[in-house]
């Protein structure tokens, strides 16, 4: 009896109600919900909500436990205001979820059933005041007849400011969607506008109202997105601040025991005292950015910004606007007031152009003009901007070959190649490896929270015999993996802690014969034997060093004939 009375009450209210259990299956749907969603209860009861109801989010609330209050949702041609709430038991466990929603488009039926306009307005106000989004209602001529409380909060306009006036009255930028709907007699979704005296950024959904087939007006739901846009701008500005942070490294951070490295450091120290353009040349991982930081910090620009730009990391389509900035309206989506480029951000300091060889050819002439004239024009602008910037470029490519291949402008190459500094690869400065190793261990101790004190002579000998195609970056990677392989109470990196390294010299001619399968089998055998050697035959440690299971190691040893 109580259950029957409960269902009668729920079927009598104007809100639609759907409930699901902890598995996401529909356990209850009232009469209003079935009418709004155009489904029959017997067809959906017991089915998973995601299969039965299109565009639902109730399963998400069930999963996250986070309620969603007063959300606007399109259901077919209708628009509803819905609240989705998780259901919990006495212990706080989620055992289901319920959605309570109201059809905003029901104003059409209200207009047919209620003859008194004030009564219609009162009913509409009670409905639309229940949402946090702004709602405005216009008549067939496009005059505003009703707004809710959220409308005043978002637009800054009182009902007395807009009611009875054309729907253009609240538009600061853009076209009135009420007016467009009055012409087209069709709904319009996702229109971007600026509204009110504060020019709030909003997204508007407008649906037409028909009574007995006759157009009577339109309802607009206005979403405030200005806060989201503000956060986006703040994030962008934060990224720009990070990019122009002061250079972190000095010449004291550079390890130079070998002769070639000493020469590079001396050259860098001399050129730091001038404003000459510097080109750092070396393989990947040789420390080009470290040198750029050190040159900046040793120059009279040390108090100015240091802006680092990776020319290969910025998409080709936007690199020009990122470097040189743009004026307002320069292209679709351009920010109001325009935006400074990275070159302008570096005014009074240093601009580090890493991987300059990847600079797109169409941007190179503008960069060349800037380097010659010390001025540039923003994208979409016509006024020259003059700045005082020192250029440090870096490359691991042969720029002369790129010039011959017509992928790099000769004049730009000569402008950049004023003072080249060659940074030797690690295989040409092996005297530096012991000091570099201890320097990296100290750094990784802080990052990993470890207390490693050093490295054994056997392990160091292995590092000294390797050619390091990845240079210092690879050395840091290998030492990091070695420290991870160590037990927490171990203090010295031993040979068995090191990951397997290819000990053949870089550039050694390939002379072995055999099929690919045979060569791979031989190489795999060599790596396993080396791992067993480093772990002094301890197969458990060897398997861990190789990153495989112990059973897999036994299987491979048997297959490859390793005793």
Query: Domain residue spans in the chain?
Result: 2-103, 114-224, 247-422, 426-508, 512-563
- pLDDT confidence bin for 438, thresholds 50/70/90: very high
> Is there a contact between 290 and 250 (Cβ–Cβ < 8 Å)?
no
Range 112-116 contact pairs with CB under 8 angstroms and sequence separation of 24 or more: 112/211, 112/212
Identify the pLDDT of residue 338.
73
State the Cα–Cα distance between residues 166 and 148, nearest whole angstrom: 17
- pLDDT confidence bin for 182, thresholds 50/70/90: confident
β-strand partners of 278: 392, 419
CATH class of 426-508: mainly alpha
Mean pLDDT confidence for 365-389: 89
- Looking at the structure, give the CATH architecture of the domain made up of residues 114-224: 2-Layer Sandwich (3.30)
Identify the pLDDT of residue 387.
92
Q: 79 vs 177, which has greater pLDDT?
A: 177
Identify the pLDDT of residue 111.
46
State the Cα–Cα distance between residues 370 and 246, nearest whole angstrom: 23
- pLDDT confidence bin for 514, thresholds 50/70/90: low
State the Cα–Cα distance between residues 413 and 531, nearest whole angstrom: 47
Place of tokens 């297959």: 559
> Is there a contact between 75 and 37 (Cβ–Cβ < 8 Å)?
yes
Sheet containing strand 78-88, strands side by side: 26-29, 16-21, 94-103, 78-88, 68-75
Would you call 220 helix, strand, or coil by DSSP?
A: strand
Identify the pLDDT of residue 242.
45
State the Cα–Cα distance between residues 20 and 51, nearest whole angstrom: 13
- Looking at the structure, give the CATH architecture of the domain made up of residues 512-563: Orthogonal Bundle (1.10)
Q: 4 vs 68, which has greater pLDDT?
A: 68
- pLDDT confidence bin for 558, thresholds 50/70/90: confident
Asked if the model's pLDDT at residue 549 lies above 80, the reply is: no
Identify the pLDDT of residue 176.
86
- pLDDT confidence bin for 455, thresholds 50/70/90: very high
Identify the pLDDT of residue 511.
43
Q: Do domains 2-103 and 114-224 have the same CATH topology?
A: yes
Q: Specify the range with the lowest mean pLDDT, choosing from 243-252, 322-331, 397-406, 483-492.
A: 243-252
CATH of domain 2-103: 3.30.450.20
State the Cα–Cα distance between residues 322 and 360, nearest whole angstrom: 13
Asked if the model's pLDDT at residue 340 lies above 80, the reply is: yes
Asked if the model's pLDDT at residue 263 lies above 90, the reply is: yes
State the Cα–Cα distance between residues 340 and 347, nearest whole angstrom: 11
Between the CA of residue 94 and those of 16, 21, 66, 84, 309, what are the distances in Å? 22, 9, 11, 13, 49
CATH of domain 247-422: 3.40.50.300
Identify the pLDDT of residue 115.
47
State the Cα–Cα distance between residues 45 and 28, nearest whole angstrom: 7
Asked if the model's pLDDT at residue 507 lies above 50, the reply is: no
Identify the pLDDT of residue 434.
93
Q: Tell me the two tokens of residue 167.
A: 């729907």
Asked if the model's pLDDT at residue 229 lies above 70, the reply is: no
Mean pLDDT confidence for 175-197: 87
Would you call 290 helix, strand, or coil by DSSP?
A: helix
Contacts of 380 (CB under 8 A, 6+ apart): 326, 327, 328, 329, 330, 331, 334, 338
Of the candidates 557, 529, 561, 522, the one whose C-alpha atom is nearest the C-alpha of residue 545 is 529
How many percent of the chain have pLDDT more than 90? Answer: 28
Asked if the model's pLDDT at residue 513 lies above 80, the reply is: no
- pLDDT confidence bin for 199, thresholds 50/70/90: confident
State the Cα–Cα distance between residues 498 and 221, nearest whole angstrom: 63
Compute the mean pLDDT over every residue in the chain, rounded to the nearest whole number. Answer: 83
Q: Tell me the two tokens of residue 335.
A: 């920010």
State the Cα–Cα distance between residues 62 and 97, nearest whole angstrom: 6
Q: Specify the range with the lowest mean pLDDT, choosing from 62-76, 115-129, 211-225, 490-504.
A: 115-129
Place of tokens 């017509």: 406
**What is the C-alpha radius of gyration for the chain, rounded to an integer number of angstroms?**
35
| Tens of pLDDT, residues 274-322 | 999 999 999 988 999 999 999 999 999 988 899 988 888 887 778 888 8
pTM across the whole model: 0.51
Q: Specify the range with the lowest mean pLDDT, choosing from 39-53, 251-265, 325-339.
A: 325-339
Mean pLDDT confidence for 218-229: 78
State the Cα–Cα distance between residues 470 and 468, nearest whole angstrom: 5
């Amino acid at each position: 009896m109580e259950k029957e009375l409960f269902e009668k009450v729920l079927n009598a209210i104007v809100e639609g109600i759907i409930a699901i259990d902890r598995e996401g299956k529909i356990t209850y749907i009232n009469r209003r919900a079935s009418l709004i969603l155009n489904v029959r209860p017997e067809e959906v009861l017991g089915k998973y909500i995601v299969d039965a109801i299109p565009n639902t989010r109730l399963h998400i609330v069930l999963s996250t436990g986070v309620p969603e209050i007063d959300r606007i949702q399109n259901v077919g041609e209708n628009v509803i205001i819905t609240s989705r709430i998780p259901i919990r038991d006495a212990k706080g466990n989620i055992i289901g979820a319920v959605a309570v929603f109201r059809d905003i488009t029901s104003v059409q039926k209200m207009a047919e059933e209620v003859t008194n306009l004030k009564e219609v307005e009162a009913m509409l106000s009670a409905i639309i005041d229940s949402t946090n989004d702004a709602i405005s209602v216009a008549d067939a001529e496009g005059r505003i007849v009703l707004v809710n409380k959220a409308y005043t909060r978002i637009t800054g306009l009182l009902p007395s400011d807009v009611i009875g006036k054309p729907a253009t009255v609240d538009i600061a930028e853009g076209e009135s969607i009420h007016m467009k709907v009055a012409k087209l007699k069709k709904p319009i979704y996702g229109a971007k506008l600026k509204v009110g005296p504060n020019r709030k950024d909003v997204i508007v959904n407008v649906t037409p109202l028909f009574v007995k087939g006759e157009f009577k007006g339109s309802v607009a739901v206005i979403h405030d997105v200005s806060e989201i846009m503000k956060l986006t701008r703040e994030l962008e500005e934060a990224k720009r601040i990070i990019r122009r942070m002061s250079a972190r490294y000095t010449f004291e951070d550079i390890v130079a025991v070998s002769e070639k490295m000493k020469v590079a450091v001396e050259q860098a120290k001399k050129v730091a005292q001038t404003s000459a353009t510097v080109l750092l040349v070396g393989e990947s991982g040789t420390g080009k950015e470290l040198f750029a930081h050190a040159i900046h910090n040793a120059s009279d620009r040390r108090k100015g910004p240091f802006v680092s730009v990776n020319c290969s990391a910025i998409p080709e389509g936007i690199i020009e606007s990122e470097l040189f900035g743009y004026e307002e309206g320069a292209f679709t989506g351009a920010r109001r007031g325009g935006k400074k480029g990275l070159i302008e951000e570096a005014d009074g300091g240093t601009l580090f152009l890493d991987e300059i060889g990847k600079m797109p050819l169409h941007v190179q002439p503008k960069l060349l003009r800037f380097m010659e004239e010390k001025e540039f024009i923003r994208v979409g602008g016509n006024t020259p901007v003059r700045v005082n910037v020192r250029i440090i470029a870096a490359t691991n490519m042969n720029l002369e070959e790129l010039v011959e291949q017509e992928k790099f402008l000769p004049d730009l190459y000569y402008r950049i190649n004023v003072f080249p500094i060659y940074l030797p690869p690690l295989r040409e400065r092996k005297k530096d490896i012991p000091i570099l190793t201890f320097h990296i261990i100290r750094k990784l101790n802080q990052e990993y929270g470890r207390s490693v004190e050093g490295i054994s002579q056997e392990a160091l000998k292995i590092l000294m015999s390797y050619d390091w195609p990845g240079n210092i970056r690879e050395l840091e990677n290998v030492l990091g993996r070695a420290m991870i392989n160590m037990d927490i109470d171990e203090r010295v990196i031993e040979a068995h802690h090191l990951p397997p390294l290819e000990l053949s010299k870089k550039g050694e001619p390939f002379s072995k014969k055999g099929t690919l399968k045979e060569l791979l089998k031989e190489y795999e055998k060599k790596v396993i034997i080396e791992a067993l050697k480093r772990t002094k035959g301890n197969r458990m440690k060897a398997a861990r060093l190789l990153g495989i299971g112990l059973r897999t190691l036994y299987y491979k040893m048997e297959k490859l004939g390793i005793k």
